Amino acid sequence: MSELAPAPIVSHRAPPNNADAERSALGSVLLKPSCFDEVATSLTADDFFLPVHREIFDAMFTIDKRRQAIDIISLGDELKTRGALARVEGGPAYLINLANSVPTAENVAQYVRIVKEKATLRRLIGACAEIQSRAFGEFGDYEEFLDQAESLVFEVAQQNRKESYAVVGDHMTEVLENIEARAAERKDVNGVPTGFKKFDALSAGLQPENLIIVAARPGVGKTSWVVNVCVNAALHHNVPVLIFSLEMSKYELMERMLASEARIDQSRIRRGFIEYADWKNKIYPAGGRLAAAPIMIDDSAAPSILDVRAKARRFRGDLRHFPPPKPDANGRIPRQLGLIVIDYLQLCRGSSKKDDNREREIAEISRGLKSLAKDLKIPVIACSQLNRGLEKREDKRPQMSDLRESGAIEQDADMICFIHREEVFNPDDTENRGKAELIVAKHRNGATGTVPMTFIREFTKFENYADENEAPFE
């Protein structure tokens, strides 16, 4: 089914609009040409309801692109060149009235906001009309229709105007500004910090729009590692986190978080063997810290990739966790960090219930998660199982070929990490007890290597490797 497109608004009532705000926004530019940057940053020609105002804004945009001053003379000349001045009722007099109708350009931000809000409402009405029209007719697969309908409304609400292609010249300034911002900050970690210093040194943190696969055999610790990452990010850096826990209940997962944060043997918590001092000094303080952290858990059983995408979009659109960012001292809009975790990928379902080809279904899920990361502009971690074949090898360290239904996963992932603990396969090997390796086997935008870590089994907790003389990564 093709992507839904907003339908024309059909109603006996006039669509939401504010002609005065449109005139004031354009008039502010004629009164104070430097205002155009603020207007053009927030609005496009399609945001104006009146056709004459679309013509005028488009002409202003062309003049500004030529790096010429926008005034009544240059604007009138541009409209005349286009043959559009005749379509402006009153001709040059209309432009003069635009400038004279605004007492001051100081309120331009308010005029722009009103114009944008009315345009968004019109698009929302159009989207709802399209959804209504499809719902009364033949819309194909039910779940796919719901996903596309919600996606359409979400994109309108987020004013996420996507283009099929981007002209490099139009976006190079933004790229250079991003590099400038990083150069000014000189931060070793500009993504979501994991709390594991050597891994963060290798990756610069979990990067927005990236799909990160964390894979291991059962019992090695992939859930423990991603939970540690979530707690570190939320607790110490206030990064909002959404965990889809497909294997464990939310209560089991929270107990694991509590044991790790309080540093209490999880088996004691499970059996209730807890001393008063532990309650007072460890469990209650850790519980308070976790309760205040922006961590959300969804433990729905076997959700489809459409369910995951829908819930993730609601999470990303929640203003409690992602309030509108404010410009910094240099006027730059800071990047908003967030994190989504799926534990684990093979427990997801594809959108089609009839498809009995598991590899094709995993490919759909993998592509859906990568698309989700790009759409929401935050990293997505997906845990994955490994094939049993590695247990038959002498060297039990995972390889790319060990990924279960690996073709699409390997292709879609920006980063693939394997967790290896030798003590799981050789329990009598006391030399490797408590040692773990995070093997970065694929890193689309950086280095690969092996990061040594420490695993404290009773706390189900990974920590930075104790030997600080180790190389940052091998």
User: Cα dist. 342→60, 214, 308 in Å?
Assistant: 47, 10, 9
Rounded distance between C-alpha atoms, residue 329 and residue 308, angstroms:
37
Confidence of residue 333 (pLDDT cuts 50, 70, 90): low
Highest mean pLDDT among 10-24, 222-236, 430-444: 222-236
Q: What does the pLDDT look like over 264-320, one tens digit per residue?
A: 887 787 877 788 887 888 888 888 888 888 889 988 887 878 778 878 877 887 777
Rounded distance between C-alpha atoms, residue 386 and residue 217, angstroms:
5
Question: Is 356 in the same domain as 420?
Answer: yes
The whole-model pTM stands at 0.62
Rounded distance between C-alpha atoms, residue 229 and residue 365, angstroms:
23
Question: Is 460 in the same domain as 373?
Answer: yes
Q: Which structural domain, as residue segments, surrounds residue 385? A: 187-464
123 within 8 A of 4, measured Cβ to Cβ: no
Question: Is 192 in the same domain as 316?
Answer: yes
| CATH of residue 195 | 3.40.50.300
Query: What phi and psi, each to the nearest 5 degrees, are found at residue 40?
Result: -70, -25
Q: What does the pLDDT look like over 423-472, one tens digit per residue?
A: 888 887 778 788 888 999 999 888 889 899 888 888 888 888 876 455 44
Residue 52 domain-assigned (yes or no): yes
Question: Is 301 in the same domain as 388?
Answer: yes
Confidence of residue 158 (pLDDT cuts 50, 70, 90): low
Where is the domain boundary, 103, 129, 162? 162
Q: What angle do CA 409, 209, 384 make, to 5 degrees?
A: 30
Residue 223 domain-assigned (yes or no): yes
Confidence of residue 4 (pLDDT cuts 50, 70, 90): very low
Question: Is 245 in the same domain as 373?
Answer: yes
Question: Is 214 in the same domain as 291?
Answer: yes
Residue 11 domain-assigned (yes or no): yes
Rounded distance between C-alpha atoms, residue 23 and residue 42, angstroms:
16
Token pair, residue 3, equals 């992507």
Question: Is 267 in the same domain as 144?
Answer: no
How many CA atoms lie less than 13 Å away from 140 in the CB half-sphere?
14
Report the chain's C-alpha Rg in angstroms. Answer: 27
Total of domains in the chain: 2
Query: What phi and psi, each to the nearest 5 degrees, are found at residue 96?
Result: -65, -40
Residue 53 domain-assigned (yes or no): yes
Confidence of residue 6 (pLDDT cuts 50, 70, 90): very low
User: Cα dist. 75→107, 112, 115, 170 in Å?
Assistant: 22, 20, 21, 22
Question: Is 204 in the same domain as 83?
Answer: no
Q: What does the pLDDT look like over 356-414, one tens digit per residue?
A: 677 778 888 888 889 889 888 889 999 988 887 777 787 778 888 887 666 778 888 89
Residue 19 domain-assigned (yes or no): yes
Residue 180 domain-assigned (yes or no): no
Question: Is 304 in the same domain as 263?
Answer: yes
418 within 8 A of 441, measured Cβ to Cβ: yes
